[in-house]
Amino acid sequence: MTEKKRALITGITGQDGSYLSEFLLDKDYEVHGIIRRSSSFNTNRIDHIYQDPHNPHVSLFLHYGDLTDGTTIRRILEEVRPVEIYNLGAQSHVRVSFDSPEYTVDTVAMGALRLLEAIRDYQYRTGIEVRFYQAGSSEMFGKVQEVPQKETTPFYPRSPYSCAKVYAHWQTLNYRESYNLFACNGILFNHESPRRGETFVTRKITRAVARIVAGKQKKLYLGNLDSKRDWGYAKDYVRAMWMMLQQEQPDDYVIATNETHSIKEFLEIAFTHVNLNWQDYVEFDPRYLRPAEVDLLIGDCTKAKEKLGWQPSVTFTELVHLMVDSDIKALEKSNMVGSGFD
């Protein structure tokens, strides 16, 4: 019997980590994920694919670790011996990165470097190739220097988060060129789903719509409604990550839908879907403004289409509808309680 391919995922408990795990398990991979110790359960996005480790045919394994802890990362790499590593772990909230810049940079920038260093040593010592995916972000384009943005568009990051992602991007490229690592940067534009964190604007809106319909919420407080984003569906985007690591040569790719929409347009579609008018519910709260904003993002994913054969499968309107429908269903199933931290 041939051995299963082994993949290691940082950030397996996040939106993308959970979809990527499902995708790789479907492809018959053995999937290993790094999870953080938490005082409350943080595995709800992967509970449905969790397997009892006592089962001899188990193919999903979880390891305690943290991107700020290089020793543990090295130990996990030695134990797991993966052929592919997907670095999805991050303090990924742009607004929060202004409040916690050092921690964000430690996780996002230094975390990527710790992984690259561990892979470099492991590969040098064992001669085994480890393919590396770095979760780059359209936030790196920040104050955009070109419309639409593609792989060659200069970066102009506007937050601690995106400065850290730019560092991780260049280190990934640097390790590829210096040590011949098979290391790829995905430059992914915003991608959403019913599993999106509740404090990102899309999910905050769709969750509020569900709660308003159910009579559990009266108002929705938001910040800047004029910024524009290129929003896609997370399931489509994790497929692109895997495709990058299956190519003959490592490279960097923009993954996007080539469309841009404002927060107002998102609100319009989400509220109209349940026959409500968003202007009756949305209030401005300056708390949600950022010290520096990214006004417009729109990606050009021609390279990914031509070289990977990748393309998105869900339209903007379908995405908004599927998120609203999912939150309505989830609320019907359980009594959702607002956390207050949004």
**Could you list the active site residues?**
137, 139, 161
Indicate the DSSP class of residue 3: P
> E strand or H helix at 120, and its extent?
helix 111-126
Indicate the DSSP class of residue 107: I
> Rule CB under 6 A: is residue 90 a binding residue for ligand NAP?
yes
Residue 231, amino acid? W
Least distance to ligand NAP from the beta carbon of 232, Å?
A: 8
Identify which range of 77-85, 100-108, 197-205, 249-257 contacts ligand F7E by CB under 6 A.
Answer: 197-205
Contact by Cβ (8 Å): 261, 111: no
Token digits of residue 158:
């506007």
Q: Candidates 229, 235, 239, 261: give the one binding ligand F7E (CB under 6 A).
A: 229
Q: How far apart are the first and last CA of the chain?
A: 49
Q: DSSP labels for 151-172?
A: TTSPP---SHHHHHHHHHHHHH
> Rule CB under 6 A: is residue 137 a binding residue for ligand NAP?
yes
Contact by Cβ (8 Å): 272, 210: no
CA–CA gap between residue 299 and residue 82 (Å, rounded): 31
Least distance to ligand F7E from the beta carbon of 316, Å?
A: 14
Q: Candidates 288, 311, 331, 336: give the one binding ligand F7E (CB under 6 A).
A: 288
Q: Candidates 107, 162, 172, 206: give the one binding ligand NAP (CB under 6 A).
A: 107
Token digits of residue 283:
């209030």
Binding residues among 184-223 for ligand NAP as defined by CB under 6 A: 188, 190-191, 197
Least distance to ligand F7E from the beta carbon of 95, Å?
A: 6
Return the CA Rg of the chain: 20
> Rule CB under 6 A: is residue 166 a binding residue for ligand NAP?
no
> Rule CB under 6 A: is residue 94 a binding residue for ligand F7E?
yes
Q: Candidates 4, 5, 36, 290: give the one binding ligand NAP (CB under 6 A).
A: 36
Summarize as ranges the residues that interact with ligand F7E (CB under 6 A): 92, 94-95, 137-139, 189-190, 199-202, 204, 222-224, 227, 229, 263, 288, 290, 293
